[in-house]
């Protein structure tokens, strides 16, 4: 496994990647889920600062392992997938070392675009048994869902609200360098 990434345009291997999230539920537990349809392109240039990434996630692919909750989150109360079928990320900069760095970019959810910074760990690069060159990354950031216009909530009898504001986004991404 190499820790030096080859220059070029890499594509996301969606079958070996996951865009996940964690949000507090009822103030006492956490709900986890993922988006099952994502596309991304990684353009590797001169070092971390000379590289960029663009990603698109289909909001209707939201899956929290509960059909009722998924239907509600896809509704106008949350993602409004009919009107806003995608969310996007486009990097604007990166800084740090080759193995751990901060990736800054514009995240668009619904009609709101805000800057976010992901803490990224480069997992390495390898050629698989089929001859494909692969690279892996793990990234995490935390956002305020209210800042993106996702404000629905319900008050709890004991105080507090049903859905927390802070959402942690976790990305485990495998990219392939086309031959």
153-167 mean pLDDT:
80
Please indicate, yes or no, if residue 146 is contained in any of the structural domains: yes
Q: Is residue 73 part of a domain?
A: yes
Higher per-residue confidence, 178 vs 63:
63
Runs of H (alpha helix) within 17-132:
67-74
pLDDT, tens digit (0-9, with 9 covering 90-100), for 40-56: 999 988 777 788 999 99
**Confidence class of residue 1 from pLDDT cuts 50, 70 and 90?**
very low
Where in the sequence is the domain holding 30, given as residue range(s)?
8-177
Residue 114 forms part of a structural domain? yes
- pTM here? 0.91
Q: Would 3 be classed as within a structural domain?
A: no
Any domain includes 31: yes
- The Cα–Cα gap between 12 and 3 comes to 18
What does the pLDDT look like over 70-105, one tens digit per residue?
A: 999 999 999 999 999 999 999 999 998 888 999 999
Asked whether residue 1 is assigned to any structural domain, the reply reads no
Number of domains in the chain: 1
Tell the burial category of 15 from Cβ atoms under 10 Å away from its Cβ (0-12, 13-18, 19+): exposed
- Residue 98 in domain: yes
The whole-angstrom distance between residue 94's C-alpha and the CA centroid of its chain comes to 16
Structural domain includes residue 77:
yes
Domain of residue 156, CATH code? 2.40.128.110
Give the pLDDT band of residue 15 (cuts 50, 70, 90): very high
Confidence of residue 115 (pLDDT cuts 50, 70, 90): very high
Structure confidence at residue 163 (pLDDT): 80
């Amino acid at each position: 496994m190499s820790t030096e990434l080859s220059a070029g345009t890499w594509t996301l291997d969606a079958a070996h990647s996951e865009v996940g999230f964690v949000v507090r539920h009822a103030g006492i537990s956490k709900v986890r889920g993922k988006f099952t349809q994502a596309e991304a392109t990684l353009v590797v240039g001169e070092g971390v600062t000379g590289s960029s990434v663009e990603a698109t996630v289909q909001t209707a692919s939201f899956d929290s392992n509960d059909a009722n909750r998924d239907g509600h989150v896809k509704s106008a109360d949350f993602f409004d997938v009919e009107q806003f079928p995608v969310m996007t990320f486009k990097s604007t900069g990166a800084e740090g070392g080759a193995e751990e760095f901060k990736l800054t970019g514009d995240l668009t959810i619904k009609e709101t675009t805000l800057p976010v910074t992901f803490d990224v760990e480069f997992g390495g690069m390898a050629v698989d048994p089929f001859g494909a060159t692969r690279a892996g990354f793990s990234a995490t950031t935390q956002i305020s869902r209210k800042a993106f216009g996702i404000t629905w909530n319900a008050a709890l009898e004991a105080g507090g609200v049903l859905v927390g504001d802070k959402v942690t986004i976790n990305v485990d991404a495998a990219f392939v360098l086309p031959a």
